[in-house]
Amino acid sequence: MPPTVRDYFRNPPFRTLAGSLSVHTGENDFAELKIHETLQKQIEEYFKTRPVTVTILVGDQGGGKTWTLSWLYRTFMEGQKDTLVVGVPRIELRGIPERGLLEGLFKGLKPQMEEIKQTMGKMEFPSNLKGTAAEYIWNAISDNEAYSILSGAGGRLPSLNGIIPPPMTKTEGTLELFLALFRFLSILGYARILVLMDEVESLFVAYGKSDIFKFTNYLRGIYDEFESDDGRTLPRLVLVMSGTYGVLAGVSPALVTRQIDESDASQALLRRLAPSFYLKFESMEDALEIASHRIGVHRKVTPDNPYIPYDEKAIEYVWKYNTGNLGNFSRDLQQMYDFALKERASKITLAHAKRAVAVFQKVDEESKS
């Protein structure tokens, strides 16, 4: 009996949903392309040249933003020892968004908590910062109740060792705690902090103009504090927010048009934003690289029979149809695989590709109507 598609793969090669931002997301499947390398170099450049950088990673839904952030997470964690990466998978949509960001940061520290506590055990808290919010954070890290409230459990922060915490329900309080957290991390020896924030568009859907203005103004405040400090007590910060075109237009219409609305209050933030990075894949080489990487990872190793079960034309067809959208590209490739598997086919061909595209074209049209 001739081999079929099933005989070539250990498991389905194309997962279509990204999962949430974490150090392990897409670990084996992620295909590192030139565009990712460019982004990494850009962030390195920011660390070298600016005390603080706020930038937006723009891509479509299914454009590979979460996997890119997860890859950045891994890449920078494996890099220099003085670099800390904090992944914020989403900002919880309750209360004020700036509190959500702060809570997300504390929650994002969890994977590094053991290392942080070990470092704390080896040193004394600096006397010149005694009684400040930074000392409060130092104490809160070891206090389960305070840490869980800071991570989003809700409730009122307790006083610790006689230090009254800034109020988390007020914007100025969250800013003080935010800066205190980064001063604390600087004390521990982290000179470069990369904050990766995913799913930012939900903010723009859930909150009204006034809340968004306060949030962008909050980011502006963070920017100014880091810039004025210029590395004296605060580490270098690169904050990457990932979002769709809607986020870009939501932060300010001036980012995508030449019109400036009078009501566009985020003008002050705009001047401080680093150029956005656009996650778009156009070349056929990218498509083949992604497909062959995924096929390679999931293929059963048969060195005596190095058969490539996908026709390049099939991949090209799906790629062009999806105009470079990675999520839909993977979805259609998986559908092709499913068709071939069901038919016990020995090769995935252009005909499978056309049928796969037709399935989702129909689904898209039905959902639209």
Positions in the binding site for another protein (CB under 8 A)? 34-35, 38, 58-61, 201, 204-205, 244-246, 248-250, 253, 255-259, 261-263, 276, 278, 280, 282-283, 320, 323-324, 361, 364-365, 367-368
Select 120 or 359, whichever has its Cβ closest to another protein: 359
Whether 347 and 311 have beta carbons less than 8 Å apart is answered as yes
We find the least distance from the C-beta atom of residue 237 to another protein, in angstroms, to be 24
Select 103 or 201, whichever has its Cβ closest to another protein: 201
We find the least distance from the C-beta atom of residue 247 to another protein, in angstroms, to be 9
Whether 316 and 287 have beta carbons less than 8 Å apart is answered as yes
Q: Give me the sheet containing 236-243, strands edge to edge.
A: 83-88, 192-197, 236-243, 52-58, 277-278
Select 228 or 283, whichever has its Cβ closest to another protein: 283
Select 54 or 168, whichever has its Cβ closest to another protein: 54
Q: CA–CA separation, 81 vs 60, rounded Å?
A: 33
Select 171 or 276, whichever has its Cβ closest to another protein: 276
We find the least distance from the C-beta atom of residue 57 to another protein, in angstroms, to be 12
**Angstrom distances, CA of residue 357 to CA of 14, 260, 364:** 15, 40, 10
We find the least distance from the C-beta atom of residue 50 to another protein, in angstroms, to be 20
We find the least distance from the C-beta atom of residue 96 to another protein, in angstroms, to be 22
Dihedrals φ, ψ of 237, to 5°? Answer: -125, 130
Whether 198 and 89 have beta carbons less than 8 Å apart is answered as yes
**Burial classification of residue 312, based on how many CB atoms lie within 10 Å of its CB (0-12 exposed, 13-18 middle, 19 or more buried):** middle
DSSP 153: I
Q: CA–CA separation, 279 vs 262, rounded Å?
A: 30
Select 113 or 205, whichever has its Cβ closest to another protein: 205
DSSP H stretches of helix in the chain: 34-49, 65-77, 97-108, 113-121, 133-142, 144-148, 171-187, 201-206, 209-229, 245-251, 267-270, 284-298, 312-321, 326-342, 350-368
We find the least distance from the C-beta atom of residue 63 to another protein, in angstroms, to be 9
We find the least distance from the C-beta atom of residue 286 to another protein, in angstroms, to be 10
We find the least distance from the C-beta atom of residue 134 to another protein, in angstroms, to be 39
Select 125 or 360, whichever has its Cβ closest to another protein: 360
Select 186 or 325, whichever has its Cβ closest to another protein: 325
DSSP 64-80: SHHHHHHHHHHHHHSS-
Select 187 or 357, whichever has its Cβ closest to another protein: 357
Q: CA–CA separation, 255 vs 264, rounded Å?
A: 11
Collapsing DSSP states into helix, strand and coil, what is residue 84? Answer: strand
CA angle 217, 61, 219 (to 5 degrees): 10
We find the least distance from the C-beta atom of residue 195 to another protein, in angstroms, to be 23
Select 122 or 258, whichever has its Cβ closest to another protein: 258
We find the least distance from the C-beta atom of residue 252 to another protein, in angstroms, to be 12
CA angle 224, 230, 232 (to 5 degrees): 125
DSSP 150: I
